[in-house]
């Protein structure tokens, strides 16, 4: 799982996998405030 900063004050949480040296996104959604507070600090 990864959390990334996109745009102005927006974060996405994504579940990814690696296949044949490529990154594949399984799912992505807006991060919750708790996720950003715990994991998203720059």
Starting at the edge strand that comes first in sequence, how are the strands of the sheet with 10-19 ordered? 2-6, 10-19, 22-30
Residue 35 pLDDT exceeds 70 = yes
37: confidence class by pLDDT, cuts 50, 70, 90: confident
pLDDT at 41: 65
- In tens, the pLDDT along 1-32 reads 898 888 888 899 999 999 999 999 999 999 99
Q: Which pTM was predicted?
A: 0.71
């Amino acid at each position: 799982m990864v959390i990334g900063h996109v745009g102005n004050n927006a974060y996405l949480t994504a579940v990814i996998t690696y296949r044949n040296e490529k990154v594949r996104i399984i799912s992505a959604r807006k991060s919750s405030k708790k996720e950003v507070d715990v994991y998203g600090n720059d």
